[in-house]
Chain A
Amino acid sequence: MKRVVTGLVILLAFGAAKLRFEQSLDAEYKAEFFRGAKIDLSVREQVGQVGFIAALSGFRAVIADGLYLTAFNAFANMQWGRMVLLFNNVTTLQPRMIQYWNEAAWHMAYNAATAAREDPFQPKESLRIKAEREYWKLGRDFLERGIRNNPDHYQLYDTLGTLLRDKFKDHCAAAEAFAKAAECKDALGYEKRFAAYEMAECPGKEREAYELLLKYYNLGEGERLPTLLKYLGRLQEALHIPQNQRVYIQPEKHH
């Protein structure tokens, strides 16, 4: 008995010694975006008790894949409400999986929104438009939550920028999203240009956009793409840039 008690005391002493180290390791992992999944009762309802224990026991990626496949089937059957629930759980289980956030947002803002807009069972157009916008918002919500979990990747900022530009027509917010995408270390070259294009459409930001476009124009031939030239020409006109300071002469003016 004495040996058992001593053994237990040794284990407790080791536990006390390792506690701070484990805590700091946990914090370091969280800082590197590990262990971000917050498994709650909603997941428990979707995956059942065994699945819930499995998700807690280090098999959350597999459980997330299972739910994703179910969501895929829900998409094939156009069960949009079920998809929202399933994708909420998929992204909760795997918050660092960019593809899941992106796909959830795409299904909501594009597929579900279009289906709602063309709903043959809803005769009132105003209600169809309202439903369509609700799905846009759901798509935006997925992207914003995805960004909170993955602020270091450009993809979700890019998709958010595209959604804000194409659906919400909020060019100021889209410019901000593309600019944030451009700041990410793995960003593609066009993000900074997209940010400038959207800024050019944002009321009150024309001067800033012009300076950015001019900066990219001066980087060389590689940056002088047709869209950049189009916006540069338009802003030169809008801002009344003197002829001798204009770097780009629009073809129609030239003729």
Chain B
Amino acid sequence: MTAQPRHTLFSPSRVLAIASNTFLELVRAKVFVLLTVFALVIIAGSFFLERLSFLQQFQMLKDAALGAMSIFTWLLSILATAMLLPKDIEDRTLYTILAKPVPRFEYLIGKLLGVLQLLLVSTLIMSFAFGAVLFFRQQWAIAEAIQSAGGAKAAAETVAAITKEIKASTFSGSLIPAIVAIYLKAALCASLTLLISTFSSSMIFTVMVSFACSLIGYIQPVAREYWINGPEQASALTKVMFMFIALLFPDLQLFNLVDDVAAGNAVSTALFLKTAGIGVIYVFVYLFLGYWFFSEKEL
């Protein structure tokens, strides 16, 4: 007689099973089609800008690609997460899972991990596509510049200088933290959407509130500054309103490194780690609050 496996309070394998199913469900929902649009944006953008100098072309290519990555991961995080709970309720999958000895927090963690996996794969594919197009344009620009400098007759020193200058204006180490920050922002938005979906009554409500919360998150630092250091003559009501915005919403501008990194700014490791740290804390807090509401939700 074989012994029954002991039921544990928390099982990583159960969580991973839910996560991988969630990921597969999302892949089947053809969310990756969005990535084709991204590829078209950067490839079209790289050719559209041919009349500009190569430095300007690289700059705009980086701005457009990083901006598109930022908006696509943001959209994906909200839309993919918002459909999870309503879809599971509609398909009755949720009841099948929770009827088994699967605690609700495991279910939520699994769902979030599935979305985070999807976001990670999407971010990696977009980064790879962006890197490939940038590399292709870089090689093209180097070949063109060498040709203008005299082709095969150009002095080795000139060729080296051209190559160095063009390479310096394409890839920089700061692009990596900027892309990681894009992913963290998307992860934060996903956990916030999951939190909202635990008490929302419909998918459309979840999507609308999540978009609104994200937009408020972008102006949260302005509200915070106004509340803390604003003019004394500001009305008490205004200050209270800004206080609530500062306390309830995340500062999404902290994760918006792309604009400045694309302009050539470098972010220090310590500062980036602090940003990543607050991002991870946000994800955990929103997940905990999501469980707080979901644990007592009548299904």
Contacts and interface: CB of A to CB of B under 8 A. Distances in A.
A and B bind:
yes
A14 B271 contact: no
A208 B71 CA distance: 56
Please report whether the interface of chain B is mostly helix, strand, loop or mixed according to DSSP. helix
A15 interface: yes
B265 to A, nearest CB: 5
A225 interface: no
Contact of B267 (A7, A32, A57): A32
B244 to A, nearest CB: 8
B55 interface: yes
B67 A57 contact: no
B252 A16 contact: no
Contacts of A18: 278, 281
Interface string A10-25: 1110111011011101
Nearest to B65: A62
A32 B268 CA distance: 8
Please report whether the interface of chain A is mostly helix, strand, loop or mixed according to DSSP. helix
Given A16-B247, A22-B251, A99-B56, A58 B274 contact: no
Interface in A6-52: 6-7, 10-12, 14-16, 18-19, 21-23, 25-26, 28-29, 32-37
B259 A61 contact: yes
A34 B256 CA distance: 10
Given A29-B271, A57-B215, A58-B253, A3 B258 contact: no
Q: Give the bracket for the number of chain A residues in contact with chain B.
A: 35 or more
Contact of B71 (A59, A72, A99): A59
Nearest to A97: B263
Given A58-B252, A99-B59, A34 B296 contact: no
B248 interface: yes
Contact of B260 (A26, A34, A62, A98): A34
B63 A62 contact: yes
Contacts, number: 115
B47 to A, nearest CB: 15
Q: Give the bracket for the number of chain B residues in contact with chain A.
A: 35 or more
A249 B87 CA distance: 89
Max chain A CB contacts within 10 Å: which of B256, B268, B271? B256
B167 to A, nearest CB: 16
A144 to B, nearest CB: 19
A58 B285 CA distance: 24
Nearest to B60: A65
A59 B70 contact: yes
Given A61-B259, A94-B259, A94-B263, A19 B224 contact: yes
Given A11-B248, A25-B271, A58-B70, A3 B265 contact: no
Nearest to B247: A15
B293 interface: yes
B219 interface: yes
Nearest to A12: B247
A96 interface: yes
B262 interface: yes
A61 B247 contact: no
A192 interface: no
B252 A96 contact: no
Contacts of A64: 63
Interface string B230-268: 000000000000000011100111101111101111011
A238 interface: no
Contacts of A32: 265, 267-268, 271
B291 to A, nearest CB: 10
A97 B63 CA distance: 12
B63 A65 contact: yes
Contacts of A72: 52
Contacts of B248: 11-12, 15
A59 B215 CA distance: 12
Nearest to A152: B265
Given A32-B267, A34-B257, A34-B267, A26 B289 contact: no
B66 A61 contact: yes
A90 B275 CA distance: 27
Interface of B: 52, 55-56, 59-60, 63-64, 66-67, 70-71, 199, 214-215, 218-219, 221, 224, 228, 246-248, 251-254, 256-260, 262-265, 267-268, 271, 274-275, 278, 281, 285, 288-289, 292-293, 296
8 nearest A-B residue pairs (beta carbon): A15-B247, A61-B63, A62-B67, A58-B256, A96-B263, A61-B259, A97-B263, A34-B260
Given A25-B251, A36-B260, 8 more contacts: A11-B248, A14-B285, A18-B281, A58-B67, A58-B218, A61-B67, A64-B63, A96-B263
15 contacts: A3-B296, A15-B248, A22-B224, A25-B274, A28-B274, A32-B271, A53-B215, A56-B218, A61-B258, A62-B67, A72-B52, A96-B263, A97-B264, A98-B264, A99-B56
